[in-house]
Homo-oligomer: A and B are copies of this chain.
Amino acid sequence: MDIVLIGCGMIGGSMVMDLRHSEEATQVAGIDINEDHLKKSLELNIIDRYAEIEDVIPDAGLVILATPVDVSVELISRILDCTGENTVVMDVGSTKGMICAAVASHRHRQKFVASHPIAGTEDSGPEAAIMGLFKEKIALLCESQRSSENALNRVRDVYSALGSALIEMDAGEHDRHLAYVSHLSHISAFTLGLTVLDIEKNEKHINLLASSGFESTVRLAKSSPEMWGPIFSQNKHDIKTALDEYIRHLTMFRDMIVNDEKDELAAQMLRANDIRRILK
């Protein structure tokens, strides 16, 4: 199957590496506004050549749209406009409401499958792509009733080759859940990093005193602003609700500490410990 990868970053790159390995991919054409990413993707054998949307999409079997989510929303109509009879388009973005809205009334809506593989690292760019990133992970499909059976089957084959299990979810539900379980974690880490950087002007203390605890809590603060800014922006309503709740819990926790409410504080920590059971 001839593939067009739009957005040659960590997610798209990892996906194509696995698809090449499983021989789902024959030729891969890469599109990116970042020329360094294109060059690097070519060097790493992620893509076979550079391309332009209008030149390669009509003959492609699969288009993987793996750009930041604002770019995906901008490009999706133009991509669908030039699909050939046999072309299927999938996106892999972390928000689903806006892309589903953007394609809702497109005449080729049925050729598009909205998906979100729940996998990644804090690294970005094609050099961060890794084999097996999606193995034994979950991927979500949204509004699949609006995709054709043919498009769905092709995308199911892709995730099957990657080793991911598929789950259907309403786009609005997706964005609401992800605001809590993923987007909030990223904001929590970004702001933890900023707080510590602002207060510990003497950097050596951060490095010296950071046990593995701080390192793991702040890890996501290393994530790409280009990727995460548009996610926060597109999902701002659900993120606002999540952040308001988080700030409310933090304020409560602070007051319990300051007011020496030791029993209640211990009870809340014990309740938080339940995360151990749930994540098992």
Contact of A266 among B121, B138, B193, B229 (CB under 8 A): B229
Given contacts A199-B245, A232-B265, A258-B236, contact A138 B184 (CB under 8 A): no
What 1/0 flags go to A232-265 for Cβ under 8 Å of B?
1100100110111111011101100110101001
A269 to B122, CA, bound (A): 13
A258 to B234, CA, bound (A): 10
What 1/0 flags go to A194-237 for Cβ under 8 Å of B?
11111110010111111111111111111101101100110010
A13 to B119, CA, bound (A): 36
Chain B, Cβ-Cβ closest to A222: B276
A23 is an interface residue with CB less than 8 A from chain B: no
Chain B, Cβ-Cβ closest to A204: B278
Q: Is the CB of B214 within 8 A of A185?
A: yes
What 1/0 flags go to A172-202 for Cβ under 8 Å of B?
0000011011101111111111111111100
Contact of A273 among B215, B216, B225 (CB under 8 A): B225
A98 is an interface residue with CB less than 8 A from chain B: no
A190 to B185, CA, bound (A): 12
CB contacts (< 8 Å) of A137 on chain B: these are 211
Residues of chain A at interface, number, CB under 8 A = 87
Contact of A184 among B185, B192, B229 (CB under 8 A): B192
CB contacts (< 8 Å) of A195 on chain B: these are 180, 184, 242, 245-246, 249
What's the minimum C-beta distance from A231 to chain B, rounded to whole angstroms? Answer: 10
What's the minimum C-beta distance from A181 to chain B, rounded to whole angstroms? Answer: 4
Contact of A278 among B207, B219, B232 (CB under 8 A): B207
A33 is an interface residue with CB less than 8 A from chain B: no
A71 is an interface residue with CB less than 8 A from chain B: no
Given contacts A247-B254, A269-B228, contact A177 B197 (CB under 8 A): no
Q: Is the CB of A205 within 8 A of B177?
A: yes
Contact of A211 among B120, B229, B265 (CB under 8 A): B120
A44 is an interface residue with CB less than 8 A from chain B: no
Given contacts A199-B242, A200-B177, A271-B197, contact A182 B214 (CB under 8 A): yes
Nearest 6 pairs between A and B by C-beta?
A225-B269, A193-B272, A185-B217, A181-B209, A191-B249, A193-B275
